[in-house]
Structure 1
Amino acid sequence: MADFRIERDSMGEKQIPNAVYYGIQTLRAVENFPISGLKPLPTYVDACLLIKKATAIANGELGCISEDLSRAIVQAADEILAGSLRDQFVVDVYQAGAGTSHHMNVNEVLANRALEILGDEKGNYSRVSPNDHVNYGQSTNDVIPTAIRIGGLLALERTLYPALKGAIAALQAKAGEYQDVVKSGRTHLQDAVPVRMGDTFGAWAQILADHLARLQFAEKDLTVLGLGGSAAGTGMNTHPKYRFRAAEILSTLIDKPLTSAPHLMAAMQSMAPFVAVSSAIRNLAQDLVKISHDLRLMDSGPKTGFNEIQLPPVQPGSSIMPGKYNPVMAEMISQVCFQVMGYDAAIALAAQAGQLELNVMMPMIAYSLIQSLEILGNAIAALTEKGLKGIVVNGDRCRQYAEGSLALVTALNPHIGYLNAAAVAKESLETGKSLRQIVLEKGLMSEADLANVLNLEQMSAMTPAQTEG
């Protein structure tokens, strides 16, 4: 067998290594775009393969391609989805506008594997053509925005949703475990009224649950497909039933209620669904940074910081200071969140950069969106397993801070008035005397009433209205 085969396209011919399954258009793209070394994300490849499988089934059923070609293309897609030939998707993330290079990479690999399934040789495109058969009734312009939608849905279901739900469950468990631990609240990084450690964890759980709901709402935009719009959204060269049947098959393949867009041209031109999902991810990332910073502050010390909690020590923290452990999982997730925010900015810029019938910035949008979903999901899962689940609360330290906080004077406001309470706080800070001692010395309250008002458990308990729902 020769080491090379000759393939031809509209620009001429090239030698293609016979071992590879991609073809001449992929090779041209590899030569043209030696940019980042980043290859298409596996989830994005899966999305493209699922689309090609669905379209092959639909076109076979509708008589647009022969049944034997339909079966061969579907088998090839299934094999690759199962793990074979994954190294054949080789075009750099930063490539020809709209994603034609990656799209043809997928078409060529499927065509050449289908040829083998049919007992033929790679490169015999007169029998199975990347363009005429694998890509029948399709265009980069409707396949790639559909692939971004499917890839986003896959990344949400496979990675981000399970990670978020796991983090919420871990925080809820900690909320129950430490509900009776009282700690000093802090606002402006200054002493504030006491709160329960369990309520702190519970608040974080609620924050993440709210973000999960926002993501699930934004996801709905991804389920409306422009597949079938072909080159410009008019549906040229497609069967009248194709767009609906392809969406129906894809729905079954990914177990999501997908529908064909009411206006295919609009679905092709607007990147708004991706901006909406990216914005929801950025919003989540911003709160995760806040939570990670809280964790680091509360874990600071152990001798010169808050030392209210202990995050699990998972690795040595210094190359020179023995016995040092750092909150590395919290540090990691902040960095991931900053990267996600950067991807969101890039997506927003790319989304407004489309012209007329097409946005040619889709390759970068595809990578940035799916990468954001997956790295954030992986980071949350790692933080949960290596951080949140193993948190230990230092109850004695928390109590010490709560009892020493000048903000306890707030509870005296209804009984001695704001100005008297402020004077008590000032004297306590200047003299070192306790609030209790000063109030009693000044005869502002009885000892029994004061003991009731300065009850930490009572002060830190959330009212029914605050905990409702």
Structure 2
Amino acid sequence: MKYRVVQDSFGEEKIPASAYWGIQTQRSLRNFSIGEERQPVEIIHALAAIKKAAAIVNKRHKSISDPICIAICEAAEAIMSGKMDQHFPLSVWQTGSGTQTNMNVNEVLSNYGAYLYREKHQKEIVIHPNDHCNFGQSSNDTYPTAMHVATIIAVRNNLVPALLTLIETFDQKAQEFQGIVKIGRTHHMDATPIKLSDEFETFREMIQENTRRVKVATDDLLFIPQGGTAVGNGVNTAPGWDAQIVAKISEIIGEDFRVPKNKSQHMASHDALVNFAATLKVFSVSLIKIANDLRFLASGPRCGLGELNLPQNEQGSSIMPGKVNPTQIEALTQVCAQVIGNETTIAFAGSQGTLQLNVYKPVIIHNILQSTRLLSDSINSFCSNCLVGIQPNRENINNHVRRSLMLVTALAPKIGYDNAALIAKRAFENNTSLRDEAITSGLIQPEEFDELIDPSRMTSPK
């Protein structure tokens, strides 16, 4: 492999000749060889968008020349497109401000921008990673801005579409299951009848409410601290520079980002991201409840509840021929467990802001983006490979309704709670029907029993 040797105040480093990164990136690779987790590409792309916005605003203020601005913008667009992802090799486990990754982007912008300019104009140009690409910026305001930008893009492009598909699919199933009466269950025991459509409408409403929470939590991320520079007060920037770059970032990303009243709040702490992670945890809690309900209702197929039939996608056992398992549900709930665990990490990391800077930024955004990505992917997989194909097992549903002792609840207003309880107890002990025991009791006539014990009428107020 060919190398180039670069030197700065800390010494020299050998850098692969084909790499567009520079000496600070190479030194970080050597100093932080930890784990396999790399900086999320979403953060890299967000940083490139911020650098493009900064170059445009800096040119407006005559802080950089037109050719340098053009070169930085062209290089930033290449990074944003994903074609340069291999030039961002740094670990999540680095300085807590994300400085090495900020400089990784600055160095690639510098070297690749100069290359593009040279290829296009047949002349050399010098682009300095700090003096030009990082002008008016600090890692302390740029990296947290990228954290917000990357999260909002992930929610907008991936999570919200997945949630809307999930809501729509549950709604379609609720419509499809209209008119099917089944037994409700509390404490895992028989209860009074409900409609299968009502059960799926409950799932839909849970998803809708969680989607609302996600959108509210995401709105808080529209406040970005770009322009705060080192400690939040905007040192080394011109008056109004913050509003101008935030407006330009909004234009590039297509969102209404805003300048916060206090930039330091989003540099010294990450409460908005902690809150967003907590919202994803609540959503995961709901998803686990829904997934477990579907798992129990589909248990069997012959020796469980067996009220729902799930799609049979693959073999479920290496030893038991013909066994099929609820694999999509298992994958979804495992993702939810990971998201809940990620939230614990994010909450602790968010608590570690000291004075003017929180230095747990990379681990916060790594977990935020992983949770968002996993939820988006697992929901899409669950919808397309499981939920759309769920069908009711009407025979099992009807048998459970017919045999349930909790239909006796409809007799209580007529004969009293104690008498109704005694009828249910005798039916259970004698393995007889409610109807036989009720008529034997002499407390109710056959025609009255048939009128009152109508499962469909027990699914709404009468």
TM range (shorter): over 0.9
Distance in 2 separating the partners of 1:244 and 1:347: 29
Q: Are 1:218 and 1:273, in contact at CA under 8 Å, matched by a contact in 2?
A: yes
1:147 corresponds to 2:146? yes
Question: Structure 2 regions of 5+ residues with no counterpart?
Answer: none
**Which residue pairs with 1:137 in the alignment?**
136
- How many percent identity over aligned positions? 37
Structure 1 residue 5: Cα displacement: 2.0
Q: Are 1:76 and 1:110, in contact at CA under 8 Å, matched by a contact in 2?
A: yes
Q: Are 1:44 and 1:370, in contact at CA under 8 Å, matched by a contact in 2?
A: no
Q: Are 1:51 and 1:143, in contact at CA under 8 Å, matched by a contact in 2?
A: yes
* Alpha-carbon displacement from aligned partner over 1:125-158 (angstroms, at most 9, x marks no partner): 9820111111111111001111110111011011
Distance in 2 separating the partners of 1:145 and 1:270: 10
Structure 1 residue 385: Cα displacement: 0.5
Q: Tell me the amino acid that sits aligned with residue 171 of structure 1.
A: F
**Which residue pairs with 1:401 in the alignment?**
400
1:26-105 superposed matches below 5 A:
26-105=25-104
Distance in 2 separating the partners of 1:72 and 1:452: 82
* Alpha-carbon displacement from aligned partner over 1:42-86 (angstroms, at most 9, x marks no partner): 222221111111111221222221121111111111112223111
Distance in 2 separating the partners of 1:37 and 1:11: 26
Distance in 1 separating the partners of 2:59 and 2:420: 81
Distance 1:397 1:125, change over 3 A: farther
SS at match of 2:264: helix
Distance in 2 separating the partners of 1:208 and 1:15: 52
Distance in 2 separating the partners of 1:45 and 1:183: 52
Distance in 1 separating the partners of 2:445 and 2:151: 64
Q: Tell me the amino acid that sits aligned with residue 265 of structure 1.
A: S
1:452 corresponds to 2:440? no
Q: Are 2:44 and 2:79, in contact at CA under 8 Å, matched by a contact in 1?
A: no
Q: Are 1:7 and 1:15, in contact at CA under 8 Å, matched by a contact in 2?
A: yes
1:174 corresponds to 2:191? no
* Alpha-carbon displacement from aligned partner over 1:269-293 (angstroms, at most 9, x marks no partner): 1210001100000000011111111
Q: Are 2:39 and 2:362, in contact at CA under 8 Å, matched by a contact in 1?
A: no
1:53-452 superposed matches below 5 A:
53-119=52-118, 127-452=126-451
Distance in 1 separating the partners of 2:172 and 2:124: 59
SS at match of 2:15: strand
Q: Are 1:336 and 1:376, in contact at CA under 8 Å, matched by a contact in 2?
A: yes
Distance in 2 separating the partners of 1:280 and 1:463: 35
Distance in 1 separating the partners of 2:313 and 2:18: 44
Distance in 1 separating the partners of 2:84 and 2:48: 12
Q: Are 2:46 and 2:80, in contact at CA under 8 Å, matched by a contact in 1?
A: no
- Once structures 1 and 2 are overlaid, which stretch shifts more, 367-376 or 111-120? 111-120
Structure 1 residue 254: Cα displacement: 2.0
Distance in 2 separating the partners of 1:293 and 1:230: 48
Distance in 2 separating the partners of 1:40 and 1:402: 55
Question: Structure 1 regions of 5+ residues with no counterpart?
Answer: 465-469
Structure 1 residue 38: Cα displacement: 1.4
* Alpha-carbon displacement from aligned partner over 1:285-307 (angstroms, at most 9, x marks no partner): 01111111111111111111111
The structure 1 segments of at least 4 consecutive aligned residues displaced by more than 4 Å after TM superposition are: none
**Which residue pairs with 2:21 in the alignment?**
22
SS at match of 1:222: helix
TM-score computed with the length of structure 1 as normaliser: 0.95
Q: Tell me the amino acid that sits aligned with residue 411 of structure 2.
A: L
- Once structures 1 and 2 are overlaid, which stretch shifts more, 244-253 or 213-222? 244-253
Q: Are 1:311 and 1:391, in contact at CA under 8 Å, matched by a contact in 2?
A: yes
Structure 1 residue 4: Cα displacement: 2.2
Q: Tell me the amino acid that sits aligned with residue 258 of structure 2.
A: T
Structure 1 residue 120: Cα displacement: 7.7
* Alpha-carbon displacement from aligned partner over 1:342-366 (angstroms, at most 9, x marks no partner): 1100000001111111000001001
Structure 1 residue 412: Cα displacement: 1.5
Q: Tell me the amino acid that sits aligned with residue 46 of structure 1.
A: H
Distance in 2 separating the partners of 1:242 and 1:449: 81
SS at match of 1:225: coil
- Once structures 1 and 2 are overlaid, which stretch shifts more, 239-248 or 355-364? 239-248
**Which residue pairs with 1:467 in the alignment?**
none
SS at match of 2:12: strand
* Alpha-carbon displacement from aligned partner over 1:297-347 (angstroms, at most 9, x marks no partner): 111111111111111111111111111111000000110000001110000
Distance 1:126 1:97, change over 3 A: farther
TM-score computed with the length of structure 2 as normaliser: 0.97
Structure 1 residue 16: Cα displacement: 1.2
SS at match of 1:138: coil
Q: Are 1:98 and 1:362, in contact at CA under 8 Å, matched by a contact in 2?
A: yes
